[in-house]
Structure 1
Amino acid sequence: MSSLSVSTSRPTTGDRGSPEQGGLSSTLVLALGTFAVGTDAFVVAGFLPSMAHDLHVSEATAGQSITVFSAAYALLSPVLATLTARLPRRALLVSALVVLGLANLLSALSPNMAVLIISRVIAAAGAAAYTPNAGAVSAALVRPQLRARALAVVVGGLTVATALGVPLGNLASHWLGWRTALGIVAGLCLVIGIGLRAIMPKLPGNERVPLRTRLAVLRRPAVLAVLPLSVLGMGASYVAYAYSVPALEAVHIPQGAILWMLFLYGLGAVLGNIASGYATDRWGSVRVLTVGYICMTVALGLLAWLAAIDTALQALVGLLVLLWGASSWCQTPSQQHRLIEVAPQEAPLVVSLNSSGIYLGIGLGTVLGGVMLPSGMPAVYGLGAALAVVSLLFLLITARATARRG
């Protein structure tokens, strides 16, 4: 993700009313945009089996569309941030949504896997250009006293998409087909782009920061002790979650109940994200992450056991899925807090790099899950649990080393 630098220039509203009115209304539309972007990023896992069947490929091969999107997002973010820095913000955001919408339309019409992969790369470019700039613009369009709330509203769109994207994809695929589901996402992006063009006041671009400068922070030992954990931790969660439909079927969740299990995961994700913010302020990020990785290990380990013994315990699975979602998404606030602590002068940059790390982790988990699929779902869940243990060990070792250096 590109850095969330905030322009200090006041917006030019023309006939759009006062800057404050334009800022408040634009913030709501920007939040709808982040919801669309987040839904696009997470929706594929909800209809992976039907996509694989329609394109005549295995589920592991179809899952690589998630990997490609995630990797492209992570790699393109700093490049696009540099290339588009001086563009007017409204033009950039509207263009990003149009690109995302057209890419989803291409995905919906894909005749084969090759075209689908190309369309997912284009979609990742649109998403990488939109999300971080939407946060920065929302903060620039309101008074300083309202900036935190504006950011919360915009990021809230992404959080809601995290909770709803996969279950909505599963539901739309079941009723309408996966192509129609992606077509709906495409239409949503284009409609929001039109709304943003009509409502958002003009805002100039920012000063261009060279790519080398953006990435120089990666040479700091303190940052390198923190950032890889975002990749490991999200990878641990996504080993099984990228293939959530067959993963839930393996623990005897019937087709009609899979949707509700996916909603439970999303509910856990939202609760874990919120609770992590409060708990990090009170007890510190390392303690919160330690509890999170222990919970993830327990949840995925027990799911592996249930899949292996071939026993139907739906109530227990529901609790484990809720815990799985909470432990997966409790990582982000704590990791951002740790990165800001070690690089306070580059806070926007390290937060954006953390987002890239999250998407790299999603891609890594999807690849590893696809490799393990032929071995059965107990092995997939087990690998996720093992990666959660590795994440915990990495956290404890690096936190102790950082404390000694401090």
Structure 2
Amino acid sequence: MNKILMLSLGAFALGIDAYIMAGLLPGIAVGFDVSISGAGQTVSVFTLCYAISAPLFGALTAGKPARLVLAAALTIFTLANALSAVTTDFSLLLLTRAAAGIGAGLYTPTALSTAASFVSHARRGRALGTVVGGLAMGTAVGVPCGLLLAQSLGWRATMWLVTALGALALAGILLRLPNGAAATPPSLRQRIAVLVDPRVAATIAVSFVTSAGSIGLYTYVAPLLHASAGVADALPYLWAWSLGGLIGIYLSGVIIDATGRPEWVMAGILVGMTIVFGSMAWALPDTALAFIWFAVWGAAAWSTPQQHRLLSLHPDKGSIAVALQSSAHYAGSAAGAAVGGLALRVGASLTQLPALPGLMLAVALIGQIGIAVWSRSSDRDRADQDQPQPATISEAATGELL
């Protein structure tokens, strides 16, 4: 098996694990006799540990043999999922989800830097895209397939599927990956150095809030559909979300390339998401409209203008920009799932839940419009500075003498 495809297989397993729990919440809630808001914290702990461990372990493992780091990460990830599949104690389930998040956070930056080290500089983007594509495919294709398995054999069978994929990737890493040090992933200090750029900080803040709203609602999508429209099977809607996501990845890139304005593309995406979330309460009872809403939501959630924006701000520090965006996404996901669970716990109904992420997205939209206006003003100022300045009288006279 191609070395980069092996790395992508591990990313595929991670992509499933990061989002599969949202579709499994009803079964987990019943199986452990906990509330939906309590079950939702299985998403929060995974994504929070992922967001924290990615930059932390990326710094601590710098210079270590790539095969050793990747094998350790997949061992933690695989064992954690196996324990998730067998535990009968909810507190232990939360601990295993946290451990799986740590393993995922350790794996991703090392896998990206390792993939980059295998190819020439000219092919580095393709190699990184293959690994990131594994994450995307894990979510877009793996999650619905995992939920289909859960419908037949229960949610624990899905955990065993993720365990098997992790074990397969681990075996491939141990047997086929060269025992050399990968390119050093960006350290915590390097990330902070880029983050102090106010343009980067503002972009990351919008990404954080957007993920909090979008993935915060995605976490509770199965019980939301049941409460709003009596839907017992959320799988077709998640397929619509996933297929919309694949379309969004492609279309957003095309639009950004055509316009050269990722900040305005993001503003347009946030307008669409705000409308979808603000109107979701009355849209969900209409089956056809609900499918359209889910597809639009998925397309917006998977679009890539923020990555383009960060890469354009620091083209020489692309790996750091991508790492910052990833951390913002997963930290926001954890915050959104936690806030949604808290809202349910203090008395909000499931049918009222979309209003909260809708408000978050409205805030993100206001911030993004500010970024877009700021960026346009900065571009205009730079263009003015690049224009030849009119010569002063003394300079003109000197030129004539020369």
TM-score, normalization by structure 2: 0.88
Equivalence map 1:384-403=2 (5 Å): 384-403=357-376
C-alpha displacement of 1:43? 0.9
Shift of 1:341: 2.4
Which string of whole-angstrom CA distances, capped at 9 and with x for unpartnered residues, describes residues 14-72 of structure 1? xxxxxxxxxx7111111111100111111111111111111121110111111111111
Deviations 1:65-123 (A, max 9, x none): 11111111111111101111121112211221111000111111222222112112211
Map residues 16-95 of structure 1 onto 2, 5 A cutoff.
Answer: 25-95=2-72
Alignment of 1:71-150 (within 5 A): 71-150=48-127
* Cα distance in structure 2, aligned partners of 1:26 and 1:197: 11
Matched residue, 2:287: 314
What do you get for the CA RMSD once the two structures are aligned?
A: 1.9
Alignment of 1:4-403 (within 5 A): 25-206=2-183, 211-252=188-229, 254-256=231-233, 258-283=234-259, 284-306=261-283, 312-330=285-303, 333-373=304-344, 374-403=347-376
CA contact (8 A) 2:208 2:332 kept: yes
Structure 1 residue 305 displacement after superposition: 2.3
Share of identical aligned residues, percent? Answer: 34
- Superimposed CA distance per residue, residues 214-254 of structure 1 (whole angstroms, 9 cap, x where no aligned partner): 32322222221211011111111123210111122234253
2: distance between equivalents of 1:132 and 1:249? 37
CA contact (8 A) 1:55 1:113 kept: yes
Shift of 1:169: 3.6
Contact 1:47 1:178 in 2 (8 A): yes
Cα distance between partner residues in 2 of 1:208 and 1:153: 17
CA gap of 1:208–1:329, structure 2 versus 1, over 3 A, is closer
Q: Deviations over 1:317-343 (max 9, x none)?
A: 11111011111111xx21112112223
Quote how far apart the aligned CAs of 1:196 are: 2.2
Corresponding letter in the other structure for 1:177: G
CA contact (8 A) 1:40 1:185 kept: yes
SS in 1 for 2:298: helix
Distance (whole Å) between structure 1 residues aligned to residue 214 and residue 186 of structure 2: 34
1:398–1:287 CA distance, 2 compared to 1 (3 A): closer
More displaced 10-residue stretch of structure 1: 384-393 or 210-219: 210-219
Matched letter for residue 258 of structure 2: R
Unmatched runs of 5 consecutive residues or more in structure 2: 380-402
Q: SS of the residue aligned with 1:226?
A: helix
Separation in 2, partners of 1:61, 1:213: 36
User: Structure 1 residues 153, 206: CA separation in 2 closer, same or farther (over 3 Å shift)?
Assistant: closer
Residues 63 and 242 in structure 1, CA contact (< 8 A), matched pair in contact too? yes
Deviation at 1:209, TM superposition (A): 6.5
Measured in 1, the distance between the counterparts of 2:340 and 2:92 equals 23
Contact 1:43–1:168, Cα closer than 8 Å, also in 2:
no
Q: Secondary structure at the match of 2:229?
A: coil
- Where does residue 3 of structure 1 map in the other structure? none
Alpha-carbon separation, structure 1, partners of 2:16 and 2:274: 27
- Name the aligned partner's letter for residue 327 of structure 1: A
Take 2:279 and 2:187, find their aligned partners in 1: how far apart are those partners?
Answer: 47
Contact 1:47 1:169 survives alignment (8 Å): no
SS in 2 for 1:254: coil
Shift of the 259–213 alpha-carbon distance from structure 1 to 2, 3 Å rule, reads closer
Gaps of 5+ in 1: 1-23
CA distance in 1, matches of 2:219, 2:331: 13
Alignment-mate amino acid for residue 131 of structure 1: T
Is residue 251–residue 303 contact of structure 1 (8 Å, CA) maintained in 2? Answer: no
Q: TM-score, normalised by structure 1?
A: 0.87
Tell whether the 8 Å contact from 2:19 to 2:143 is kept in structure 1 after alignment.
Answer: yes
